[in-house]
Amino acid sequence: MDQTTKSGVLYALTAYILWAVAPVYFKVMKDIPAVEILAHRIIWSFLLTLGLILLLKKRDVLLAALRSARARWALLASTALIGLNWGVFIWAVNANLMLSASLGYYINPLINILLGMLFFRERLDRVRTLAVSLCVVAVLFELIQFGRLPWVALILASTFGLYGLVRKKLGVDSFTGMALETGLLLPLAAGYLLFSSSPGSEPAHHTAVTYLLLFAAGPITMVPLMCFAAAANRISLTALGFFQYIAPSGMFLLAVFVYDEPMSTGKLVTFGLIWTALGIMTVDSLRRWRQAKRLLRPSAAAKVD
């Protein structure tokens, strides 16, 4: 493993571990309304990303995206999706529904497969058909067992999946996109903090420590994103995909063993079906990756000759 790959793996591990433990921050802030935390997350993320863009001299990329009518429409869509995703996630963690949030991010890769089929006409092979079928069975089991859809998980999975789809079509880097999205949400966030009648939004109700923690919402958002971007530049997306289960696994462990969320037999069956689907996909991805490496070796040897 060369130095670039090693650093890419380290960045990927850092990003996903930080995403895995992020719920701890929102639990600490549980006495603050979810909408207020979201507002601060938007404001401080915007200021940090704007500072990074100016520091990295990417202002031209930012302005080019704003000039494009197609990009503006895509930005409106991605902004709505990421705003809803962040809001539901914060609310779910503070409402002791971290298991549901974890399930949502486990389902997300399977949602991505469906989106690829719908928007890019990608064909499902047997392995992915089986994986998606198990996901559908898991959702139906939840509906039959508990009399309701796992709507928190489905909203988080679908909004994040659609967000990735829109951002792919938008074609801007992570920091530029985040600056534009949080910039569009900035008036709503600032308006809420200025005009909300919620007791928590009044400055007198917060200590200096509370304000410091609210400011931390920006770095907590941006640091893992920066690590993820650095990892994506150093290792393949296939390799990066093997790390994506760290975050929901961390949330799952925190929910069960730290915050004592109830883990019923029915809920365990749901997770078991999703884990089986993801396990099948992971084994298949490893098989494909090894086959690709074997095919590359003869061509590499031929070049040396």
pLDDT of residue 99: 94
Which of 108-112, 197-201, 248-252 has the lowest average pLDDT?
197-201
pLDDT score, position 235? 81
* Distance separating alpha carbons of residues 235 and 78, to the nearest angstrom: 25
> What does 224-258 look like in DSSP terms, one character per residue?
HHHHHHHHHTTS-HHHHHTTTTHHHHHHHHIIIII
Q: Which residues contact 249 (CB under 8 A, 6 or more apart)?
A: 20, 102
What is the per-residue pLDDT across 254-273, written as a single tens digit (0 to 9) for each?
999 999 999 989 999 999 99
Largest pairwise CA distance in the chain: 75
Mean pLDDT score of the chain: 86
Question: Is 96 a residue whose pLDDT tops 70?
Answer: yes
pLDDT at position 167, please?
A: 83
Q: Is the pLDDT of residue 301 over 60?
A: no
Q: 184 versus 293: which is more confidently predicted?
A: 184
pLDDT of 1: 60
Digit-coded pLDDT (tens) for 169-217: 777 777 888 889 999 999 999 999 888 766 555 555 667 888 899 999 9
- CB burial of residue 120 (10 Å; 0-12, 13-18, 19+): exposed
pTM of the model: 0.88
What are the tens digits of pLDDT across the range 59-83? 888 888 888 888 888 889 999 999 9
pLDDT-derived band at 3, boundaries 50, 70, 90: confident
* pLDDT beyond 80 at 296: no
Q: Look at residue 233 and tell me whether its pLDDT is greater than 70.
A: yes
Alpha-helical (H) ranges within the chain are 3-28, 34-55, 59-67, 69-94, 98-119, 126-146, 151-170, 174-195, 208-215, 217-232, 237-241, 246-253, 265-304
The packing angle between helices 265-304 and 126-146, to 10°, is: 160
Candidate from 120-129, 172-181, 286-295 with smallest mean pLDDT: 286-295
- pLDDT at residue 231, as a whole number: 87
Better pLDDT: 173 or 22: 22
The average pLDDT across 54-62 equals 84
Residue 93's pLDDT band (boundaries 50, 70, 90)? very high
pLDDT of residue 115: 86
* Residues 89-106, mean pLDDT to the nearest whole number: 94
CA–CA separation, 139 and 149 (whole Å): 7
Q: Calculate the alpha carbon distances from 114 to 122, 132, 158, 245, 271 in Å.
A: 9, 8, 10, 18, 19
Is residue 124 within 8 Å of residue 77, measured between CB atoms? no
Measured distance CA(96)–CA(104) in Å, rounded: 14
CA 47 to the chain's CA centroid: 20
pLDDT at position 69: 81
Least confident of 98-107, 246-255, 296-305: 296-305
List the domain boundaries for the chain: 3-300
What are the distances in angstroms from CA 169 to CA 11, 74, 253? Answer: 25, 8, 34
110, amino acid identity: L
